[in-house]
Each structure stands twice: as structure tokens, then as C-alpha cells.
Amino acid sequence: MAKITAEYIWIDGQKPTAKLRSKTKIIDSVKSLTDIPEWGYDGSSTEQATGHFSDLLLRPVKMMPDPLHRDGDVLVLCEVLNPDGTVHPSNTRAFLREVAERYKEHDCWFGIEQEYTLFEGNRPLGWPASGFPAPQGGYYCGVGADEVFGRDLVEAHADACIRAGIHIVGTNAEVMPAQWEFQVGAVPAPDIADELWLARWLLYRIGEEFGISATLYPKPVKGDWNGAGAHTNFSTKATRAEGGIKVIEEAMKKLAKRHDEHIKVYGAHNEERLTGLHETAPIHEFRYGVSDRGASVRIPMATTNAGRGYFEDRRPAANMDPYQVCAKLIETVCGA
């Protein structure tokens, strides 16, 4: 039987922001997820266990074609379990799975806009060796070697996501030079979050080929430069149906009440980004508005005009854990 490589990808226990890890297993070619064996690793090297009893279990939960290797090779996203098969505390996917199941009749969809910043060494890509580029203004959706930096990497990444089967729907250059965005969705949970983590992994991995690293830090350059977010667009069967705008207004009241609880899982260092400037609302305030990019939540013009659709939670930072963010949105909006 032909051999393939299976890249096992999982999320570690690093605090305050977990990191992706992966290692390669060479196995007989596979047809479906059930053909992929469980595996283990040393949790003491990933801040998930102490030295004496450190083996943790990798349970494959999603398989995709590996777009960077040969036909038949696969990427395998895993959940982390304790040796006895119980859920490891760092495994936030398990909780989202339960929440999504509990509220499945609401038919929640998510679309996430992942912003990120490219770095070469310790400088944003394309920035002068000392000093700063010209102030922000012309870079967003720009074109030209003096305006955008890293498009070849961005295109290679989008191409890899498409070939892997990730529901990527667009990319754009962002307001700060060297900052970019891709969008995934609209997809239900937990798939949206699985796909976002896999797309992040591909971004870092493809960056290796270019000698460029991507960071999800929410405020990579201090001062008058935009931060990086992960706007999370959300809808339910009810918000998409006739009269859905009323359901969205009810949702805004619920979100306002639980603002602090949401902010807690919307990404570390988000206070550096949510200042009230640079298209954000201050971190301690909740405000929503139609077409308002300075609000915590924006209701797109198209939703207002149609009287139904989705809303955009602009609070999540680029480095948020989509498992936690999706779980919070479902619980708050669909719960009593």
C-alpha cells in the first residue's frame, strides 16, 4: 500500500495565547478520517503536562488534503485528550462541540475575517530599516510595490486554502502596510473554527518558504497604526428569516449585558487595540450601530436594508481562539 504523510496539527497550552503545533506521521494511504490512527506526544514540552506523566493523546477530528505535498497526503486536525481519553483542560474545541450541539436547531453560521501582520526579522515586511513608512491612508486594498508587501505569500496561502477545502472567501491588503486579511465562512461551528486554525497553520507554514513570519498580535506596532482583529460575523436561522432585524436587536441587548464576559475570551492584549481609535470601540464600552466601524458590533447596511441577515462582532482580536469566541456568541445570542 502506498505511504502518505499525515501532518497532525493541534493546539498547545501556552498562556495567554495558545500556539499551533504539528508533527508528521507516515502511514498507509487513507480514505476517511476513521482510517487515521490516534497518536501521542510529550505534553511537558507544550505546557500541557508536567514531566513525570506527560503523555497526551491526539484524537483526529478533521482531515483535509495537504495542499503543500503529494496527492494523498493529508492535514489532520486533532483534539488533545488525557491518557484516559477525557478532555484535556486546554481543549476548548470540546466545549464548543457541546454548545453547538445544544443549540443546533438555531442553525448558527459564522464568517471570520482574520487579520495578520507579516514580519521579516523584527520589522514589518517592507518597512524601512529605520524610521517608518508614510502614514496610513493609501495602503488598504492598495496595489504597487511601494504600497503592499507580501502579496506573493498571500496568494500562495489563499491557493493552498482552496486546495485544502477551507471555505476561504476573500483576501485584502489592510490599513497598515504589511497587514493583510483573509475571510472564512459562512460555516457552522465547530467547522468554522477548525478551518480558521488550519488556515492559520498554512499561513505560518507557507511563510517558512518565504522566510517571512505572520503574527496575530493585536497591536504589532504601537502608535498611529491599525491593530489586527478577527471580526466575527454571526447569524442564526431567526436573524436570516423575515423580521430577523428584531432578533438582531434583541441579541444586541444580550451582548451588552455580557460584554465583559466576551472580552475575557476575545484575545490577550486586546486592550492595546480596542482604544476607540483606528476603527474600534473602547474596550470597556459596548455600542452597536448600522454601518458603524467605530462600534463594538456593526450591523451591515445590507442587513438593515433587507430587514434580516447577520451582524459583525468587531471586538475579537486577531489572536483570539475561535472555539471560545464561537461558543460565547452562541450561548449569549441563542440562550435565554
Q: Applying CB under 5 A, which residues contact Mn ion?
A: 113, 181, 231
Judged by CB under 6 A, the residue of 8, 10, 103, 110 near ligand ADP is: 110
Spatial contact of 295 and 67, defined as CB atoms under 8 Å apart: no
Count other Cβ atoms within 10 Å, centred on residue 268.
16
**Which of ligand ADP, Mn ion, none does residue 234 bind (CB under 5 to 8 Å by kind)?**
ligand ADP
| Residues 143-182 contacting ligand ADP, CB under 6 A | 169-170
Question: CB 22 → Mn ion: shortest distance, Å?
Answer: 27
Start-to-end Cα distance in the chain:
54
Shorter beta-carbon distance to ligand ADP: residue 41 or 310:
310
Q: In angstroms, give the least distance from the CB of 40 to ligand ADP.
A: 35
- Strands 20-28 and 3-11, by their bridges, are antiparallel
Which of residues 48, 235, 270, 324 is near ligand ADP by CB under 6 A? 235
Please report whether residue 186 would count as binding ligand ADP according to CB under 6 A.
yes
Residue 116 lies near ligand ADP (rule: CB under 6 A) = no
Angle at 86 between CA 80 and CA 87, to 5 degrees: 45
Binding range to ligand ADP, per CB under 6 A, among 21-29, 183-191, 197-205, 243-251: 183-191
- Please tell me whether residue 113 binds ligand ADP under the rule CB under 6 A: yes
Nearest distance, CB of residue 33 and ligand ADP, angstroms: 25
- Counting contacts by CB under 6 A, is residue 268 touching ligand ADP? no
Residue 222: exposure state from Cβ atoms within 10 A (0-12, 13-18, ≥19): exposed
Residues 217 and 230: beta-carbon distance below 8 Å: no
List the one residue from 116, 234, 286, 323 that touches ligand ADP (CB under 6 A).
234
Q: Does 109 bind ligand ADP (CB under 6 A)?
A: yes
User: Shortest gap between Cβ of 283 and ligand ADP (angstroms)?
Assistant: 19
Least spacing, CB of residue 34 vs ligand ADP, in Å:
30
Q: Which residues contact 275 (CB under 8 A, 6 or more apart)?
A: 282, 283
* Contact partner at residue 48 from Mn ion, ligand ADP, none, CB < 5 to 8 Å by partner kind: none
List the one residue out of 176, 181, 221 whose CA is nearest residue 200.
181
The nearest distance, CB 100 to ligand ADP, in angstroms, is: 14
Give the type of residue at 92: T
Q: Kindly state the greatest CA–CA separation across the chain.
A: 60
Judge contact between 106 and 334, C-beta under 8 A: yes
Q: Does 236 help bind ligand ADP (rule: CB under 6 A)?
A: no
H/E stretch holding 93 reads helix 92-102
How would you classify the pairing of strands 55-65 and 179-187?
unpaired
- Alpha helices of the chain — where are they, by DSSP H? 92-102, 151-164, 191-210, 237-240, 244-257, 259-264, 301-306, 322-334
Phi, psi of 36 (to 5 degrees): -90, 120
Identify what 109 binds: ligand ADP, Mn ion, none; CB under 5 to 8 Å per kind: ligand ADP
Question: Using CB under 6 A as the criterion, which residues of the chain lie in contact with ligand ADP when the complex forms?
Answer: 109-113, 169-170, 183, 185-186, 231, 233-235, 240, 309-310, 312
